[in-house]
Amino acid sequence: MSVFEGFETMRLVRTGPNLRQTAERHIAAIHHRAILTRLRQFREQLERDMAPEPWTVLEAPMVLLLADVCDALGLTEEEQADILGPEGVRALAEELEFRSRSRMPINERQVKALECVREHGRINLSMYRAVCPHWSDETLRLDLVDLVAQGLLTKNGAKRGTYYVLAE
């Protein structure tokens, strides 16, 4: 019996990365749709629980949380609008407009922090303390948090590994 006996009747089946990539894309699409469904259900539950008040008037604006989740997931504008619903889209636009109008002026310490970020590309609390040595760590931390809230810096990392860069 030869090693090649029956070789001409064998069928070749394609396997490998292409099949795996297709399966991964399919699973990712299913997962994406499931996330959209859960977020939409979350908003609908908020609407039901808050009735007759609109869900967009919660003290910590839930519409901002949902919009941030949508951004983090890289959802399109249409998908975000579907998640937020018409009332949420309107409330988000109003909230963002209000925040852009009510931006507080920054203090001298914060100006120094921004200069440090421009010079070094990033800043953390110890670098900020070197620039402003006469202020408490908590005051300096709150300055950085305020700059993030104003959209001037972006926070990266957590706890001792936290650093800030200029917002894009």
Shared domain check, 115 and 91: no
Q: What is the pLDDT of residue 15?
A: 54
Shared domain check, 145 and 123: yes
State which of 101, 133, 155 marks the end of a domain: 101
Q: What is the pLDDT of residue 112?
A: 93
Mark 37-68 as b/e (b = at least 16 C-beta within 10 Å): eebbeebeebbeeeeeeebbeeeebbbbebbe
The whole-angstrom separation of Cα 9 and Cα 7 is: 5
Residue 75 is assigned to a structural domain of this protein: yes
Shared domain check, 97 and 45: yes
Q: Can you state the angle between helices 77-101 and 62-73, rounded to 10 degrees? A: 130
State which of 66, 101, 136 marks the end of a domain: 101
Number of domains in the chain: 2
Shared domain check, 97 and 115: no
Residue 1 is assigned to a structural domain of this protein: no
Residue 153 is assigned to a structural domain of this protein: yes
Residue 154 is assigned to a structural domain of this protein: yes
Query: In which domain, by residue range, is 139 found?
Result: 108-166
Q: What is the pLDDT of residue 101?
A: 66
Shared domain check, 44 and 68: yes
Taking the chain (168 residues) in consecutive chunks of 10 residues, what is each chunk's mean pLDDT?
56 58 75 82 81 68 78 83 86 75 79 93 95 92 89 89 90
